[in-house]
Amino acid sequence: MRAPAAFGVAAAIALTTSCGGAQAGEPAAEAGSGVDPDATERLEVPALSDAYVRLRVRRLASLVARATAAGDTGRAMRFRLWPVENDLRAGSLSDAQVASVLRRLESLGAEYPGAREQLERTAFVVEYLRIGAVAPNIVGEDSHGQAFQLADYRGKVVVLVFGRNWCGPCRSEYPYQRYLTEKYAGEPFAIVGVNSDELDTARTYPAKNGLDYRSFWDGPTTRGPIATRWNVTSWPTVYVLDQEGRIRFVDVRYDDTLKAVAQLMAAVPRARGPRA
């Protein structure tokens, strides 16, 4: 699939490996199940240059202007802007760059009042969901009504997955999730889900697919409060957090998820090495 010219590299990748916000029918078959246990290469997170950040912010301003002229609001505006958000999450931003982007978003909100709500969401992504930021706490319930929060997992490397069972790309992550759960059993590691399925599905699909991790139930639609707060527009959306709860990788998939986790687990004191 060729990405539209308006989209950056990160957005183009996300489009080809994720489900959008519309509901779908039957689950697609699992794909991409060739887990590579030797996937331990180091993942490098690029530092975004000032020139690149300025370019993306100019692009965002152009998109806001076009969306306003077209009368877009709400989710329509949200989907117009998310490619630029993804590009700004694809590398590390300096504090000065974050401050500059936030000032520009505030000025755009004053210039385009109809876009202010979405621009505030974009500002939340830039400030709190960027690489290096401490992930916002999530407080909610699982599909059985039991309360828990993301902060409960502080001290562990965490793979936070926004997913839903009928989404083919989400299901293609299952073999990797099973592998990680087995490999790091008994170690300071956890997968935490945010699930947008119907309640019955949310209660039954983990056992049917051999998934042994807890999920917040954010359904029965993709517009749940957690996904909305985290401005999720495609599924799966993946964050990998270190022991301090800082976001270290965003939207890694398949073997790259294994590499990201191995890299962070290697920094955990007295962590066990890979199994023979």
With 60 as the cut, is the pLDDT of residue 6 above it? no
DSSP structure class, residue 229: H
Name the least confident of 30-44, 180-194, 257-271.
Answer: 30-44
Tell me the domain boundaries of the chain: 45-128, 139-265
| Separation between Cα atoms, residue 249 and residue 259, nearest integer Å | 10
Tokens of 141: 């319930």
Name the least confident of 76-80, 134-138, 204-208.
Answer: 76-80
Q: Quick one: average pLDDT of 247-252?
A: 96
pLDDT band at 19; cut points 50, 70, 90: confident
Q: What average pLDDT is seen over the chain? A: 88
Residue percentage of the chain with pLDDT more than 90? 76
Which DSSP string do the residues of 67-97 spell out, in sequence order?
HHHTT--HHHHHHHHHHHHHHHHSSB--HHH
Q: Does the structural domain 139-265 have CATH classification 3.40.30.10?
A: yes
| Separation between Cα atoms, residue 263 and residue 272, nearest integer Å | 13
pLDDT band at 209; cut points 50, 70, 90: very high
With 60 as the cut, is the pLDDT of residue 202 above it? yes
With 60 as the cut, is the pLDDT of residue 273 above it? no
Q: Quick one: average pLDDT of 145-167?
A: 97
pLDDT tens digits, residue range 127-151?
A: 999 999 999 999 999 999 999 999 9
Q: Which residues contact 87 (CB under 8 A, 6 or more apart)?
A: 8, 9, 10, 11, 56
Residue percentage of the chain with pLDDT more than 70? 85
